[in-house]
Amino acid sequence: MLKTDRLKRGEIMGKTVFFITSVSLFLINLCLADGDVENAIDKAMADLKARLKSGDVSLPQGTTVALVAIKRGEKRDGDAEMKTSAELWKVAEEFNFTLLDRGFVDERLKELDMSASDLVNPKSAPKIGGFLGAFYLLVGEITKKGKERKLSFTLLETETGAVRWSKLVKWYPHKVPLISAGLSLMLPGGGQMMNESPGKSLLFLGFATGLAAAALLYHSRYADAHDKYLRATNIDDINRYYDESRRPYKLRNLFLGLYLLCAAISSAEAYDEARWCEAQRRRIELSTSPEGETKINLRGNW
């Protein structure tokens, strides 16, 4: 009976750990969804429309434009290209220029067999433009430095490679301090993972895993000694098993306390980091100069 109860307790504990870990990873994955890229694309396309309306950028009616590629790392970002293509279609309809079909462009680019870096290189514009039959090419790149993100667009004239329009959008990813803190309470290092600090995440997660493993080990030893204590009928055996259960009991509580302390520190650190990220996000306001350069206006002290 006692053995069965112990197995049930172990099963419940295992399911609880699995549930907490699964929920934490789901929330982390949900919060890491890069919706900010779509917002940055919207800002860039709004700027292009404003420039076309004001006459700062002029595209002859009926001229052909091709969205070539948006580079992220060493590869093309298909999702960003689809979003940009959809928004660019709206601009093309409003200002009467022709946007080459995305499928057609992709098929033709496969024949060129060029890397993402070559596709977005202005020096490649004459070659790509001639191959696609486009007078203008739109290329983009998404970069990351620390927690700062950048999305840059460049509209190139294929014959000369001259830049007709450019836009740089900077942003910090949106973080919710309370969610980061809550994740780290459930799974130490989870908040740091959501805040995109993998080094800190591994540090907290590794330390917490070691403490949890030690707590479970000594809990198992305590449970065995405690079961023997409950089954004992001889007074000497009762005293002996009671004494044997004390040390693992104390060590279990010690490691459990250290685990909770680790979770609390991880939670506080994740909260502060997310709050800092949100502060940077709120401070940065973007505006575009007539020459296409990005100015950063700051509220308060940097």
Has residue 291 been placed in a domain? no
Does residue 154 sit in the same domain as residue 47?
yes
Has residue 268 been placed in a domain? yes
Has residue 299 been placed in a domain? no
113-145 core/surface letters (b: 16 or more CB in 10 A; e: else) = ebebeebbbeebbbebbebbebbbbbbbbbeee
Does residue 8 sit in the same domain as residue 41?
no
Does residue 226 sit in the same domain as residue 251?
yes
Does residue 119 sit in the same domain as residue 136?
yes
SS3 (DSSP) at 99 = strand
pLDDT score recorded for residue 9: 55
Q: Are 260 and 230 in contact (CB under 8 A)?
A: no
Does residue 267 sit in the same domain as residue 189?
yes
pLDDT score recorded for residue 35: 60
Q: Are 156 and 137 in contact (CB under 8 A)?
A: yes
Structure tokens at 66: 């091709």
Has residue 104 been placed in a domain? yes
Does residue 225 sit in the same domain as residue 257?
yes
Structure tokens at 200: 């800190």
Does residue 39 sit in the same domain as residue 165?
yes
Last residue of a domain, one of 137, 172, 207: 172
What is the CATH number for 155?
Answer: 3.40.50.10610
Domain span holding position 39: 35-172
Last residue of a domain, one of 143, 172, 201: 172
Has residue 191 been placed in a domain? yes
Last residue of a domain, one of 148, 172, 196: 172
Does residue 43 sit in the same domain as residue 168?
yes
pLDDT score recorded for residue 18: 54
Burial of 163 (0-12, 13-18, 19+ CB in 10 A): middle
Question: How many structural domains is the chain composed of?
Answer: 2
Has residue 302 been placed in a domain? no
Does residue 275 sit in the same domain as residue 213?
yes
Tell me the pLDDT of the chain (302 aa) as tens digits: 444 455 455 555 555 555 555 555 555 555 544 568 888 899 999 999 999 999 888 888 889 999 999 999 889 998 899 999 999 999 999 999 999 998 899 888 888 888 888 898 888 888 999 889 999 999 999 998 888 889 999 999 998 888 999 999 888 887 888 888 988 988 899 888 888 888 898 999 999 999 999 998 898 888 888 888 888 888 888 888 888 889 999 999 999 999 999 999 999 999 999 999 888 888 775 443 334 444 434 333 33
pLDDT score recorded for residue 2: 46
